[in-house]
Copies of this chain bind each other. A is one copy, B any other.
Amino acid sequence: MGSTPQARRSDTRERIQKTALDLFVSRGYEKTSLREIAEELGVTKAALYYHFKTKEDILSAISRDLGRPVDELIAWAEEQPPTMETKRELLRRYSAALASAMPIYHILQENQATLRDLAVGRELSDRVTAISRLMHAGDLEFDCRMRVASAVLTVHFGAFAPCGAAVGTVEQRRAALLDVALATLSGAPAPTMSPDPA
């Protein structure tokens, strides 16, 4: 007694992941050295190697943790019939999932050249590819495929960068872009719109 029941087993591993994530996001994977992570945490580099086999392994763990929602989403979608309605739902859920998983995708996004030859890079981009594949599933006509592509691009890349001024909150923008994407998907115009008020 006196100590928290079953936690006790050092939270260092998690602290490493947290710190590493922050640095990978703010400085990039390649440009973040293990020395920096260790220093920021107040431990030695060797300590990182006690908890993780390699630098890549740290990112790998982060990827597994943060990517779970998307993995589950993929698993779910793979069991649905490839109808338009499924895809609409998939897009909605993907948009939501991205909101929380953003950091890793941000890392993937900004460090593609580096992650390309790392196993963890494959893992990450496989998830994106899987979503895209599921959105394109079925015997679609060319035009339709392009609308699907546009919708996916809008939702996926709209999640990064403050594309087009800082109007509204992040959440509002996400929702609005999702609406546009859904409209594009159905080949319908986005609801209320005045044509030439530029």
By a beta-carbon cutoff of 8 Å, the part of chain A in contact with chain B is 27-31, 82-87, 109-114, 116, 132, 135-150, 152-154, 156-158, 163-165, 167-168, 172-173, 176-177, 179-181, 183-184, 186-198
CB-CB < 8 A to A150: which residues of B? 150, 154, 158, 177, 180-181, 184
- How far, in angstroms, from A3 to B19 measured CA to CA in the complex? 42
Q: Contact at A149–B164, with CB atoms within 8 Å?
A: yes
Sampled A-B contacts (21; CB under 8 Å): A27-B113, A29-B113, A30-B114, A31-B113, A85-B196, A110-B113, A132-B164, A137-B198, A140-B197, A141-B194, A142-B168, A143-B193, A145-B164, A149-B180, A150-B177, A150-B180, A150-B181, A153-B153, A153-B163, A154-B154, A188-B189
The one of B111, B112, B139, B163 in contact with A149, judged by C-beta atoms closer than 8 angstroms, is B163
CB-CB < 8 A to A140: which residues of B? 197-198
What is the copy number of this chain in the assembly?
4
Shortest CB–CB separation between residue A82 and chain B, in angstroms? 5
CB-CB < 8 A to A141: which residues of B? 194, 197
Shortest CB–CB separation between residue A110 and chain B, in angstroms? 4
Shortest CB–CB separation between residue A79 and chain B, in angstroms? 16
- How far, in angstroms, from A137 to B113 measured CA to CA in the complex? 33
